[in-house]
Amino acid sequence: MRPHLLWSFLYFLIMVSPASKGIKVFFLLVILSLPGIFYLMMAKGVHHYTKLPHIGPKEAVLKEDGSYDTTYHQIPYFELTNQDGNSLTRDDLLGSVYIADFFFTTCPSICPKMAGNMKYLQDKFLDKKDLKFISITVNPTHDTVEVLKSYAKKIHANTKNWSFLTGEKEAIYDLALKGFFASVGEDEVAPGGFLHTQYFVLVDKKGHIRGLFDGTVYSEMKKDLTDALDILYREESVPLKGEPQDEIEQRK
């Protein structure tokens, strides 16, 4: 039974009971205080919800009161161009959970399967309005705005929350390695002439990497990544004891 229905049901039982007015008032006060008590238990008490790890280096930071806090790796600032010719920056994504991958439109090997699995996730989580998807090309010389727009249509992507990004090759490769810990690059012996990771990177609303998932494996999308998204959204809806108060690094 949903909480608000439960409170209504208990209220009805009390009001129709033959108990004295004082007893009824006492029980009504107890019922009204239950939601607040529950919230305090979740926020301050000891509970055992699963929490996703933070991936990447972390640093202990000394605070003014002498205690320590933890600063986690964050995706560095970037500015790329999407399939519509519009700029998309790291800061535009703050406040949204997103899944990122690296690809190129002429990829003859793993990219079609990755695109299909990303489309599956987009369709599955239509109700998550703050969930976004970004696919960054590793061949920006060929993958222009026009090419990316055509590719998005070809795979039936909804570009309202799925962005296909291009930019300067050096900037993309640097972002892949230092930001997403992804291996990408030109390789004449690789299928299509480029190497890139097959992993989808799950990033939380503060720009922290919270999971890596094999984008070529449908079962990993259906189970592992789906579960991780559920856990991540639960983390945000239920305050966890000891959550660090870190700050987002803004553009310099």
Average confidence (pLDDT) over 228-239: 82
All CATH 3.40.30.10 domain ranges of the chain, comma separated, are 75-237
- pLDDT score at 76: 97
Distances from the Cα of 247 to the Cαs of 54, 128, 205, 208, in angstroms? 15, 25, 12, 11
The reported pLDDT for the residue numbered 167 is 98
**Cα(first)–Cα(last) distance of the chain, in Å?**
50
Q: How far apart are CA 226 and CA 231, in angstroms?
A: 9
Burial tier of 10 (Cβ tally within 10 Å: 0-12, 13-18, 19+):
middle
Tell me the per-residue pLDDT of 132-165, one tens digit each, with 9 for 90 and over.
Answer: 999 999 999 999 999 999 999 999 999 999 999 9
For CA atoms 220, 224, 226, 232, give the dihedral sign: negative
Give the mean pLDDT of 88-95: 97
The Cβ of residue 22 has, within 10 Å, a number of other Cβ atoms equal to: 8
Q: What percent of the chain has pLDDT over 70?
A: 74
Q: Which residue has the higher pLDDT, 22 or 142?
A: 142
By CB atoms closer than 10 A (0-12, 13-18, 19+), residue 95 is exposed
What pLDDT does residue 62 have?
82
Mean pLDDT of the chain: 84
| pLDDT for res 48 | 46
Question: Residue range 198-225: average pLDDT?
Answer: 96
pLDDT value, residue 44: 46
What are the two backbone dihedrals, phi and then psi, of residue 170, each rounded to the nearest 5 degrees?
Answer: -60, -40
166 Cβ contact list (under 8 Å, min separation 6): 80, 81, 136, 137, 140, 143, 144, 145, 148, 172
Give every CB contact of residue 249 below 8 A, 6+ residues apart in sequence: 74, 76, 77
* Confidence (pLDDT) at 129: 87
Q: Is 0.85 topped by the overall pTM?
A: no
Q: pLDDT higher for 31 or 216?
A: 216
Report the pLDDT value the prediction gives residue 46, as an integer from 0 to 100: 42
The CATH topology of domain 75-237 is Glutaredoxin (3.40.30)
